[in-house]
Amino acid sequence: MKEKEGITEIQLRRTPCYGTCPVYRVTIRGDGRFKYVGERHVQRQGRHTGRVHPRYLRRLAEFLREVGFMDLEDLYSTPITDQATVHTTVTLDGVTKEIEHYANAGPPSLWAVEELIDLLLCKAEWDE
């Protein structure tokens, strides 16, 4: 049986809408280091770096396994306009999964993963 490697990398990218949707992208490495680029409607604009405690990444990895993130569909969409898209890419236990999520059309577990990644940024130590 393959040993669990945990999270190697997570990327989250939020795209614009016609309103005030936050537009940013973040890449978090398995050691907790991250790169963030805030574009619009976010508290931190521009390029930033920092660190997330690895214990949060371990807990997130457990949650990803528990909700079956790697088995979710690659695309969730609905036929409406003026909504943001969230792109989530996770490399977990040596396997990479990318999901495109438009207009919150996916399952609640996907929404929860996106929110947890945002929460990691709230708990991060930012380099200033």
Answer whether 99's CB lies under 8 Å from 88's CB: yes
Position 1 scores a pLDDT of 43
Write down the pTM of the prediction: 0.94
81 CB burial (10 A radius; 0-12, 13-18, 19+): exposed
Answer whether 106's CB lies under 8 Å from 37's CB: no
Question: Distance of alpha carbon 38 from its chain centroid, rounded?
Answer: 14
What are the residue ranges of helices labelled H in the chain?
Answer: 54-67, 108-122
89-99 average pLDDT score: 97
% of the chain exceeding 90 in pLDDT: 95
CATH class of 7-123: alpha beta
Q: Where are the domains of the chain?
A: 7-123
